Structure 1
């Protein structure tokens, strides 16, 4: 095995561990904005409606599959297929050439293996990935005290995981950049986790209390950390505040 050989890592294994080696035709893909264009008679150009989201991208790894000594190609391909198709959900996908970030992707497409020569085969491995990529250094939860500023180093907002202990003695308030989230006493005492990406809130990892926290007077909202500095404060009913900021950037 060549030292420094580029690879991708998915479902607990590196591609080079499966005798898959990256070719030189790697492409970068910019996500497409989810827009609707309506044509109107008598009007030049379309009316554009922005759905305020980006579409998933297809991240394709052009690989060379090297035949493993003492193993049939059919068995080798079956093992690779099981490895890639086992997760039926978005899972962490890391590319060694950009080690500070990872994608969240799923492998579900049909794949054809092209016969190149007897012991080498070309294969393109496509992953459907979320349109954002995540920083590894934003995945760890750290303690936060009320009033402290948290800096988002990326140019887009992040959707954090926020966990704290709530006394349940009275309604509490979590404030992020002036935006208030009222935690109703009906949420109940215990450890509360808010997962902004999933849009849910739980007490003690079981009871779904999303409506008691995320439903505000102006609608259903989740905490976000904007680019740059974010001031986070909370009332005394909240203690042991931990935040995993989940910094992210537009995927490429």
Structure 2
């Protein structure tokens, strides 16, 4: 058992690869995606908010220690294969912040200076989404109409919502007063609304996003605000399951 800090990615911990964290960790606050327009005769710029934060680069300064039965070059090749295999955002955990995880991808070129024969120092950068997710927010919970669900984080979450729809009549899902109408045209079956992807589908294949998410005032996905959220639904909806995906700002 070791108390060494580590990161975990793609099924492996860094210490399992003989990578040890150095005392040079930096925290990065995401940049807001804003546009500043300068206007003649006006003090200060006009600010346009794109209502998003930009990805951050989360860098782990590591020391790669030589294994007895391998060369450092062989170890680097194995580590490269481990980190570069998933070409998508994947779960990235850091032991010093154990209640949360990042969504990151390792894709950049990395240079390693061959200065010593028993170890290499290397900085491993991950491009990460600007939010981190609570591990306990990934738990699927059954929900009864009229109950509240408390978001413990300061920003809205984008939940995964699943339920069975009878198809006998139009149904309504209401979250904090906003109504999502499920039209009969959506068809009976197991409905999934993925707020993060902005999609809705039936039985895992039929895309019915427009039948649920298109409202009179535009295209909207369900969100769970900070604090209490009241969720109710009509009788055509049963077996309601919610994965809340609580999240906070990444650092």
TM-score normalised to the size of structure 2? 0.99
Unaligned runs of 5+ in 1: none
Please state how far the C-alpha of 1:74 moved relative to its aligned partner: 2.0
Please state how far the C-alpha of 1:68 moved relative to its aligned partner: 1.2
Structure-2 separation of matches of 1:103 and 1:70 = 33
Please state how far the C-alpha of 1:120 moved relative to its aligned partner: 1.2
Structure-2 separation of matches of 1:187 and 1:78 = 50
Does the 8 Å CA contact 2:169/2:183 hold for their aligned counterparts? yes
Deviations 1:185-208 (A, max 9, x none): 111100000000000011011111
| Partner residue, 2:205 | 206
Does the 8 Å CA contact 2:72/2:119 hold for their aligned counterparts? no
Aligned residues: 250
Does the 8 Å CA contact 2:100/2:134 hold for their aligned counterparts? yes
Structure-1 separation of matches of 2:126 and 2:65 = 21
Does the 8 Å CA contact 2:102/2:129 hold for their aligned counterparts? yes
Matched, 1:20 2:19: yes
Structure-1 separation of matches of 2:176 and 2:113 = 54
Deviations 1:197-232 (A, max 9, x none): 000011011111111100111100000000000000
Unaligned runs of 5+ in 2: none
Please state how far the C-alpha of 1:114 moved relative to its aligned partner: 2.0
Structure-2 separation of matches of 1:163 and 1:229 = 20
Please state how far the C-alpha of 1:69 moved relative to its aligned partner: 1.2
